[in-house]
Amino acid sequence: MMIFDCRNRLSLQLLSLSLAGCLTVISFCLFQPRSEAATTVPLRIVYNGHLLSSNGSPVTTAHTVRFSFWSSADSQSSDITGAGDVNTSAATYQGWTEVHTVTPDSNGYFTVNLGSVTALPDIRSFSPAVLQSLFLQVEVKASASANTAYEVMDVNSADTAVDRSPVASVPFSLNADYLDQREIGTGSGNIPILGPGNVFNTATIPGGTNSGKFIIDFDNTESGDITLQFGGTLSKTLSYSQANSYFRFNDSVYINGNLTVTGLINGINLASLSSSTDTHLKVSSGAGLSVSIAAGGYRVAGATTQFAGSGSVTVRNNATNYLFFTGTGLVVSSAGFPGSGSGSHLRLAEVVTSGGNVTIVRDRRVLQSDDREKDTDIVIQPGYEGVAYRPDGTNNVGRLVLNYDSTNRRNYYQWASTPASLQDYDLVVPIRIPEGFLQWESPALILNYRTDSADNTLNKIDVSVFDTAGNAVTLTGTSTGLASSSWASTSLSFSGTPTWTVGQDAIVVIRAFSKSNSATHVGALELSSRIVVP
């Protein structure tokens, strides 16, 4: 029984029967979902109170009632601030308080809806320990009084440690911990829940399925590709294209076993290649460090040869072996396939070995080819066609002549200078972009050069390139400070996104430096590109 000052001294009493009924409703409502799922349960708590004076007569004047949630039955002085407000920093405060002003009826009864002023807390925000020890504190004061006049309605005046009402469960609310008698969890018969990102926790996904079929797009509503994806960032997919009626992998496929194909591969019907005289020289794994090559015909450098086949072609261990035919027969090399300038050859396969066994056979045959593209190499000898000789305006004292090296049988430009500081001169060479140009090869440019001294402080060469739009091209390779006392070359590739317009000129600028009677020699310029032959 709590006393407060409202003109005369009154005592307020909450009938135990009304309080117990109220708490029963509280327990039921708290354990209802509050967010995504629709619910028919009102998110309010009906609280019925009975206010009596100390002599038992009903109180019918306006009073203010404050409700709050706590995790302790014992009300401490530190739970209220000096101004009479709820101390929201108190250790046992559970984040909800609400104030109502009521005028009881002639019998002292009043009713309020908890949650109508301040939304009730989401039950999911409470820990299990708090849920099992949750208490409602009720305080009352005369409406006109200051907050310091609030008095706690002590539910058990005989026990100083029990001041608040426990939030308990009514019988049917005990089943709120279950859904149709099912518990949330990962065990047999449990209900799994969605985790972060709205996906199932992997612990709830079984290692297999008892069904003989797993169907994607079971309702047949997908009109485009039907895709199975592996990894979020990895993003490797197996998809079926309904528009093209085929499966598609977005990365390489390795098959550890036999592959049977009843259709075409790159337009070739493998069933038609089963004769002993025409198998397109298929390579397969043999025993240990050997492979088998089927019989078949091959054509190299205009001559056709029938290969009898072999079941025991030896390959090198712990290496990648390159198998190819030349005009003299089968070659097995660990150095790679021949380059474009090494003569005619027919590639068969790459065979990878490890631990005394063949582990991978990669087919490198060309079953279909398009020979319209070809590599072109252009060699421009000094003096360069269309070359311009250009001083840059400073330190250009010297002599530029066209000379001949009879020992190495080559023409070259010679830039010589006598001053003690480096003098330079430019050779500006136009390069016409040919018809059918596709791209520059790598390397795209090779410059041959020689200097009197290997010391590039005495003599050197710098190279720069400008595309057909006049922009400087980023060069990969050594393009500055070139010096060598014997004939050497530098190989340069073009990177970035230069403009190469067919029929227009790109520019190669070769700047020669020398001083103190030294000389710089500029030799042949080689260019490699890929073009389409009409």
In this structure, the answer to whether residues 380 and 351 fall within a common structural domain is no
CA atoms 37, 39, 43, 45: torsion sign: negative
Tell me the average pLDDT across 161-179: 74
Whether 185 maps to a domain, the answer reads no
Going by pLDDT thresholds of 50, 70 and 90, the confidence category of residue 482 is very high
State residue 178's pLDDT score.
Answer: 67
Secondary structure percentages of the chain, helix, strand, coil, to 5: 10, 45, 50
In this structure, the answer to whether residues 477 and 380 fall within a common structural domain is yes
Q: Using the predicted structure, report yes or no on whether residue 20 has a pLDDT greater than 60.
A: no
Tell me the average pLDDT across 268-292: 68
State residue 261's pLDDT score.
Answer: 78
In this structure, the answer to whether residues 383 and 414 fall within a common structural domain is yes
| Single-letter amino acid code for the residue at 413 | Y
CATH number for the domain that contains residue 501: 2.60.120.200
State residue 21's pLDDT score.
Answer: 30
Tell me the average pLDDT across 264-270: 61
Query: Which residues are bridge partners to 521 per DSSP?
Result: 414, 450
State residue 271's pLDDT score.
Answer: 59
- Output the DSSP codes for 348-364: EEEEEEETTEEEEEEE-
Tens digits of residue pLDDT in 229-239: 999 899 999 99
Going by pLDDT thresholds of 50, 70 and 90, the confidence category of residue 184 is confident
Instruction: Give yes or no for a contact between 461 and 518, defined as CB atoms under 8 angstroms apart.
Output: no
Whether 231 maps to a domain, the answer reads no
Give the domain range for residue 75: 2-176
Whether 219 maps to a domain, the answer reads no
In this structure, the answer to whether residues 401 and 429 fall within a common structural domain is yes
Tens digits of residue pLDDT in 496-522: 999 999 999 999 999 999 999 999 999
Tens digits of residue pLDDT in 209-231: 667 788 888 889 999 999 999 99
Q: Using the predicted structure, report yes or no on whether residue 340 has a pLDDT greater than 60.
A: no
In this structure, the answer to whether residues 523 and 381 fall within a common structural domain is yes
Q: State how many domains the chain has.
A: 3
Tell me the average pLDDT across 461-477: 97
State residue 401's pLDDT score.
Answer: 96
Tens digits of residue pLDDT in 318-337: 999 999 988 888 999 999 98
In this structure, the answer to whether residues 298 and 438 fall within a common structural domain is no
Q: Point out the domain boundary residue: 307, 341, 363.
A: 363
Q: Which has more confidence, 265 or 501?
A: 501
Helix (H, G, I), strand (E, B) or coil at 15: coil
- For 408: left if phi > 0, alpha if psi spans -120 to 50, otherwise beta; the answer is alpha
In this structure, the answer to whether residues 486 and 346 fall within a common structural domain is no
Q: Which has more confidence, 43 or 363?
A: 363
CATH number for the domain that contains residue 146: 2.60.40
State residue 268's pLDDT score.
Answer: 57
Q: Using the predicted structure, report yes or no on whether residue 66 has a pLDDT greater than 70.
A: yes
Dig out the tokens for 389 from the structure.
């000789």
In this structure, the answer to whether residues 76 and 48 fall within a common structural domain is yes
State residue 371's pLDDT score.
Answer: 57
Least confident residue range of 56-65, 112-121, 251-260, 466-475: 251-260
Tens digits of residue pLDDT in 88-147: 999 999 999 999 999 999 999 999 999 999 998 877 778 888 888 999 999 999 999 999
Going by pLDDT thresholds of 50, 70 and 90, the confidence category of residue 370 is low
Dig out the tokens for 34 from the structure.
């509050």
In this structure, the answer to whether residues 166 and 32 fall within a common structural domain is yes
Q: Point out the domain boundary residue: 312, 340, 363.
A: 363
Please give the Cα distance from 349 to 313 (Å, whole number).
12
In this structure, the answer to whether residues 338 and 451 fall within a common structural domain is no
Q: Which has more confidence, 180 or 140?
A: 140
Whether 77 maps to a domain, the answer reads yes
Least confident residue range of 18-27, 60-69, 95-104, 278-287: 18-27
In this structure, the answer to whether residues 409 and 326 fall within a common structural domain is no
Q: Which of 140-144, 307-311, 462-466 has the highest mean pLDDT?
A: 462-466
Tell me the average pLDDT across 343-357: 87
- For 164: left if phi > 0, alpha if psi spans -120 to 50, otherwise beta; the answer is beta
Whether 221 maps to a domain, the answer reads no
Whether 522 maps to a domain, the answer reads yes
Q: Point out the domain boundary residue: 125, 158, 176.
A: 176
In this structure, the answer to whether residues 315 and 385 fall within a common structural domain is no
Write the burial class of residue 306 (CB in 10 Å: 0-12 exposed, 13-18 middle, 19+ buried).
Answer: exposed
Average pLDDT, the chain: 83
Whether 206 maps to a domain, the answer reads no
Whether 234 maps to a domain, the answer reads no
Tens digits of residue pLDDT in 391-430: 999 999 999 999 999 999 999 999 999 999 999 999 999 9
